[in-house]
Structure formats: C-alpha cells, structure tokens
Chains A and B, each alone.
Chain A
Amino acid sequence: MKISTRGRYGIRLMIDLAEHSSEPHVALANIAERQNISARYLEQVAVILRRAGYIRSVKGASGGYSLSREPREIVIGDALRVLEGDLLVVDELRPGETENRIQRCIRQMVYNRLNKRIAAVVDRITLASMLGTVDSDESYIYFI
C-alpha cells in the first residue's frame, strides 16, 4: 500500500519549482541538492512530468525546469496517477478475466471502497493547497 519513490519525488520536484517560481527556471541539480534526491533519478521523474504537461524545460547551460501550470490547477491525485500509472489498490479485471465469488465479494466490499476513498483525498488537494498558499477548503469549493 505504498506510494512509489517516483510518486513522492515527483511531488517534491513540483513543490520545489513552485517555491522557486520567482526564478524563470530552476536547474535540476539545485533541486536534487535541496531535496536530497539523486539528480539522475530526478531527471527520469522530470521527463514524465514534462510529457504530461506539468513542467516545461529550458535547454542550455543555464537551463532548467519551471511549472507550466498554476499550482492551484495541479491536482495532486492527477499528478500521482501520471507518476504512478494509477492509484488503485488492486489491478482492474482484464477483459475476459474472471474472478470467483469470494474475489468478487472482496473487490466490491474492500477494494472498490478503498479506491474511492483514496481518490477522494488526493483529488481534493492541489499543489497550492499543499503549499499552504490557498486554503484547501476554499480551493475545493472553487473547483466544484
């Protein structure tokens, strides 16, 4: 039941970019040092976030990354799904795959409920509310 390293580092990468948003872009090496994460690993995470449109890169010797969306528009649940693949507690049934009655019962009673409750938490938190720049309840109402 763990959030992967990739998921955790990806969120920290975006937090760092948001905290340094006064700079046009931030070098990955600086983030790696501040966050105490290997720069090579951070590079892999940055590629995923860039492809998904969360961050943009500036090439060159003084290059780096910046957020390409406003922190209040970055829903943590969405970002985690991009980084993790999904946030489900068990694999979904593949087409044609069957399950026995006990498995079906546990899926309905436990796994589906857990999936819903996990999604409800991470989908109401934005990067901005995480940073404390926006009250989380306020942003919740705002997004509805």
Chain B
Amino acid sequence: MRISTRGRYSLEALVYLALLPEGAFASTRAISENTGISDGYLEQLFIPLRKAGIVRGIRGAQGGYLPGREAKAITVGDVLRAVEGSLEPVACLSSNTCPAEAKCITRHTWDQLYHEITDCVDSIAIADLVEAYGKLDEESYSI
C-alpha cells in the first residue's frame, strides 16, 4: 500500500513552494538544496504537476516554479493523482472490465478502502500542511 517516491517527493516540493512568500518562486536548484530531492527528479515531477495546474513554471535563466493556484485549493489528493494516477487500491475498481465483477466478493472491501483513502487525501489541502509546518516550528523552539 505504499505511496510512490514520486508521490512523496511531489508533496515535499509542493509544501516547500507553498512556504515561499506570496508570488515568490524557486529554481529547481533552490528546491533541491532545501528538500534534498535531486533537481533532475524535480524537473521530471514538475511535468505532470504543471499539466495538472498544481505548479506554474517561470521561464528563463532566473526562472523557477511556484504553486499553480492558492495552497488551500490544492489538496494532497490532487498532487498524488497527478503523479501516481488513480489512487484505487486495486486496478479493477474504475475500469469496469472484470468479467467476475458482479459476483466478486472482495470488490466491496476494496471499494470501501478506496473511499476511505480518497476521503482522507481530498480533505487535506497543501495550506493545511503549511499551517501544521508552522506549528511544528514553534514546538521545536519551545523545547
């Protein structure tokens, strides 16, 4: 049931971008230095993320990336689906091509699992992660 490396790195990059001041953008090199994700990998991830409108690219030598829309309008589910594809726990749920579908006993269980996963990741916005990040900060200073 693992989230792929693509999914994890995309979330980390998105939180980093959302932590930047309003309207600011960062080069893949800067993102790489701050997250530890190689800039080659970031460039790869930003292709589907840009297509989905989750990040926006600024061209040019001084270019970079910023969130494609407000952080409260980007959910964890949006990010994961953009780089992982469907989040269904088994491939047969949305395809409707399985000949045994009508009498499949396990389908209902996988369906419930899918519903729970979707409900969870779609209820967490990148803005929520930014807020939690801030609180984490205070906690570690207060220790």
Contacts and interface: CB of A to CB of B under 8 A. Distances in A.
Interface string B37-50: 00000000000000
Given A117-B117, A117-B120, A118-B117, A87 B106 contact: no
B2 A90 contact: yes
Contacts of A102: 12, 15-16, 19, 35, 133
Contact of A105 (B84, B110, B129): B129
A84 B16 CA distance: 33
Interface of A: 1-3, 8, 11-12, 15, 36, 76, 84, 87-91, 100-106, 108-111, 113-114, 117-118, 120-122, 125, 130-132
Contacts of A108: 132, 136
Contacts of A12: 106
A105 B117 contact: no
Given A2-B90, A3-B1, A89-B3, A118 B132 contact: no
Nearest to B76: A110
Given A3-B1, A11-B106, A121 B129 contact: no
A111 B3 contact: yes
Contacts of B113: 3, 118, 121-122
Interface string B53-81: 00000000000000000000000100010
Contacts of A105: 15, 129, 132-133, 136
Contact of B136 (A101, A120, A121): A101
Given A2-B89, A3-B89, A130 B120 contact: no
B105 interface: yes
Contacts, number: 101
B94 interface: no
A117 B121 CA distance: 11
B51 interface: no
Contacts of A1: 1-3, 80, 84, 87-89, 117
A25 B45 CA distance: 51
Contact of A2 (B80, B91, B106, B128): B91
B137 interface: yes
A119 B51 CA distance: 33
Nearest to B92: A8
Contacts of A125: 109, 112
A100 B35 contact: yes
Contacts of A121: 109, 112-113, 116
Nearest to A15: B105
A132 B107 CA distance: 13
B52 interface: no
B26 interface: no
Contacts of A91: 2
